[in-house]
């Protein structure tokens, strides 16, 4: 037996060493695989891949931005509490980009500091596109505290999380409502900001917080603030559209109201305000197609530089009256929409349109979809196919 054992020991040692090597190799491979220990490709930085957190990515603009980012091979994490967004939009995106490591959705409220910090601690973000916000002027006059909390306070929480976790790039979704009602048109980025409603005020406060933080020692932030004008249209290929909650229709965009009237969901279109100091008495706005808008975001992301802040108006540079818009909507839908004229909407302003010179020059961005009737026609095709929006969440 002693002789037999002496000859077995080297053989057993060899087996043990081989088993240890194999086990170590398996552990290494597993660690590199998505899902090991609860981790995934979203939790680590990867050379050549830019991981973008899209807040409010289930909403109208956020979903279109997510689509564009995914098409351009970015890695995308959508965070949304679905209070205004639609899970149906996320499902469309997941069906279009089912490959592992492309898109993930996290249901969370950005007003919950613990949730926000957990999201940042478990994911390796390279940049944040912050869309999430309530965004109706009329509603903001009725529920101002909700707007300050949702827009200003939540943006502060996002910035704190970015600072804690070393995320240095922010593309911020702002609005021309921060300018209020300027004395001169068109609006440039140097136009003084005097917002006249809680929505615009809350956005300006958020901008101020971002700017102050970007100037702080060691921040080294790459910041782009995009001030939108009035967004219309939808994905030209018909994959996404705008689907606001039914209870929010009275606060929604004029395009949604036009389509509801054309579909017979409501008896007609209510035009609020006919006594403004404009050529036909109705408000004048600069309507920007959502496809152009998300193109501006991608260009802003590509041009963002550490230690620098870019502020840009995103509009066509041309103002159209509400009456002009309604005429275009009638042409796009082929329906003679009934119009009811009412008094002005609280907190609204007469005339707003942009001077896009700065964004044209610095980001090489120019609006391409400037035919109002065509943009509305594209959106109308989606609306006809989705009369109930995306359906239930």
Question: Which residue bears the tokens 């809680």?
Answer: 198
User: Can you point out the beta strands (E) in 72-126?
Assistant: 75-80, 103-107
Catalytic: 199? yes
Q: Which of 148, 199, 287, 390 is catalytic?
A: 199
Measured distance CA(301)–CA(370) in Å, rounded = 23
SS3 of residue 71 by DSSP = helix
- Work out the number of other CB atoms within 10 angstroms of the CB of residue 212: 11
HEC per residue, 150-175: HHHHHHHHHHHHHHHHCCCEEEEEEE
The answer to whether 269 and 327 are in contact (CB under 8 A) is no
The answer to whether 309 and 211 are in contact (CB under 8 A) is yes
Centroid of chain to Cα 150: 15
Measured distance CA(6)–CA(161) in Å, rounded = 62
Measured distance CA(381)–CA(363) in Å, rounded = 31
Determine if residue 35 is left, alpha or beta; phi over 0 gives left, psi from -120 to 50 gives alpha, anything else beta: left
Q: Rounded to whole angstroms, what are the CA distances from 182 to 194, 274, 349?
A: 8, 20, 9
Q: Among residues 173, 188, 233, which one has the least CA distance to residue 368?
A: 233
The answer to whether 137 and 199 are in contact (CB under 8 A) is yes
* Beta-carbon contacts of residue 186 (< 8 Å; ≥ 6 apart): 317, 319, 353, 354, 355
Return the active site residues: 199
């Amino acid at each position: 037996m002693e002789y037999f054992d002496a000859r077995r020991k080297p053989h057993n040692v060899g087996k043990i060493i081989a088993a240890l090597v194999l086990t170590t190799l398996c552990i290494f491979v597993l660690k590199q695989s998505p899902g090991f220990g609860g981790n995934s490709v979203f939790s680590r930085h990867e050379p050549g891949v830019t991981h973008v957190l899209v807040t409010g990515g289930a909403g109208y603009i956020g979903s279109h931005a997510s689509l564009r980012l995914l098409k351009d091979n970015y890695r995308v994490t959508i965070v949304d509490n679905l209070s205004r967004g639609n899970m149906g939009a996320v499902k469309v995106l997941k069906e279009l980009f089912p490959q592992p490591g492309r898109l993930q959705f996290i249901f969370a409220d950005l007003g919950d500091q613990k949730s926000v910090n957990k999201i940042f601690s478990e994911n390796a973000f390279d940049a944040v596109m912050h869309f999430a916000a309530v965004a109706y002027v009329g509603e903001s006059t009725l529920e101002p505290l909700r707007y300050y909390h949702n827009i200003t306070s939540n943006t502060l929480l996002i910035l704190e999380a970015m600072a804690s976790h070393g995320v240095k790039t922010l593309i911020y979704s702002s609005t021309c409502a921060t300018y209020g009602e300027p004395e001169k048109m068109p609006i440039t980025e140097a136009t003084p900001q005097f917002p006249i409603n809680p929505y615009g005020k809350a956005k300006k406060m958020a901008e101020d917080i971002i700017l102050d933080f970007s100037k702080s020692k060691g921040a080294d932030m790459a910041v782009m603030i995009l001030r939108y004008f009035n967004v219309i249209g939808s994905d030209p290929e018909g994959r996404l559209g705008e689907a606001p909650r039914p209870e929010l229709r009275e606060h929604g965009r004029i395009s949604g109201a036009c389509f509801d009237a054309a579909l017979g969901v409501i008896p007609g279109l209510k035009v609020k305000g006919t006594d403004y100091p404009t050529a036909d008495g109705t408000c004048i706005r600069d309507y920007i197609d959502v496809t152009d808008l998300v193109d501006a975001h991608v260009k802003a992301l590509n041009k963002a530089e550490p230690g620098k802040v870019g502020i840009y108006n995103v509009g066509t540079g041309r103002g159209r009256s509400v009456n002009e818009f309604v005429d275009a909507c009638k042409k796009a839908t082929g329906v003679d929409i009934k119009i009811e004229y009412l008094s002005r909407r609280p907190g609204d302003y007469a005339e707003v349109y942009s001077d896009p010179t700065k964004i044209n020059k610095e980001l090489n961005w120019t609006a391409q979809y400037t035919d109002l009737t065509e943009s509305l026609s594209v959106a109308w095709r989606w609306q006809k196919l989705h009369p109930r929006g995306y359906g239930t969440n």
